[in-house]
Amino acid sequence: MRVVSLVPSLTEAVAVSAPGVLVGATDWCSHPAELDVTRVGGTKNPKVEGILALAPDLVIANEEENRAPDLAALRAAGIEVLVTEVRDVPQAFRELARVLDACGATARPRWLDEAEQAWSSRPTPERRTTAVVPIWRRPWMVLGRDTFAGDVLARLGVDHLYATHEDRYPRIPLDDLRAAAPDVVVLPDEPYRFTADDGPEAFPGLPCALVSGRHLTWYGPSLAETPRVLAEALRAAHR
């Protein structure tokens, strides 16, 4: 089995669950750290000819992260493409199982059971907080409707204020974000790399939680520790 992954979180899931089947991955596929495969460009601009040269049996992709024309070009060349859709945590578990089965994993990985247990055993939050969740600046963009990251936060007791916006990633002026007066501003380190020196200064007087983008937006082995890691980061914002 020869697999090319165009989704960083799926790359990690396949690499640790079906060792040896990955032959290609994007430049953004940073986990596992020791991954040694051919790099095929970015998630939005993969090198189609480079992928074809690897002669994969399967390319795994995602309807949000990858562009339809690139996937169509692969299919036109005779490559099987599996496209995932992940908008909430339960769907992530279903799609992960589907991907691993398609990649020939011989057994259900332990991390997947641990991840499902971590989420199913989590108690209902005692109180809920509101948030805005920027994912880019210049221009400012935030989480909107129907996103996996939004569902992750909601299950941890955090309701982001643009969850009913007509766009999934709306552009909102900074003054409007401040005026929304959320309980916390959640600043992930991807896709835009917010840091202690780049992000919080835009929201004076508001608690800011710097969080791992891998735990907020990836669906893979990191899901097992996501509830704990994100909860700690959110608590730290209020200290």
Residue pLDDT, tens place only, 100-141: 999 999 889 999 999 999 999 888 888 899 999 999 999 999
Structure confidence at residue 230 as a pLDDT band (50, 70, 90) = very high
Residue predicted with more confidence, 124 or 181: 181
pLDDT of residue 122: 84
Structure confidence at residue 198 as a pLDDT band (50, 70, 90) = very high
Residue predicted with more confidence, 153 or 124: 153
| Three-state DSSP class for residue 4 | strand
Half-sphere exposure of 26 (CA within 13 A, CB side): 21
d(CA 206, CA 212): 19
Q: What is the mean pLDDT of residues 221-228?
A: 95
pLDDT of residue 153: 97
pLDDT of residue 210: 97
Structure confidence at residue 236 as a pLDDT band (50, 70, 90) = confident
pLDDT at 239 exceeding the cut of 80: no
d(CA 98, CA 127): 35
C-alpha distances out from residue 108 to 45, 98, 234, Å: 32, 11, 32
- Least confident among 33-42, 118-127, 158-167: 118-127
Q: What is the mean pLDDT of residues 22-34?
A: 95
d(CA 145, CA 162): 7
- In the sheet with 38-39, reading across from the earlier edge strand, the strands are 38-39, 22-25, 3-5, 58-62, 81-84
d(CA 40, CA 4): 9
- What are the start-end ranges of the E strands in the chain? 3-5, 22-25, 38-39, 58-62, 81-84, 129-132, 134-136, 141-142, 158-160, 184-188, 208-211
Asked if 162 contacts 172 with a C-beta cutoff of 8 angstroms, the reply is yes
**Any idea what DSSP says for residue 162?**
T
pLDDT of residue 124: 83
Nearest to 168 by CA among 152, 150, 192: 150
**Any idea what DSSP says for residue 122?**
P
d(CA 146, CA 163): 7
Asked if 75 contacts 59 with a C-beta cutoff of 8 angstroms, the reply is no
| Three-state DSSP class for residue 33 | coil
pLDDT in tens, 42-95: 999 999 999 999 999 999 999 999 999 999 999 999 999 999 999 999 999 999
Q: What percent of the chain has pLDDT over 90?
A: 94
Mean confidence (pLDDT) of the chain? 95
| Three-state DSSP class for residue 131 | strand
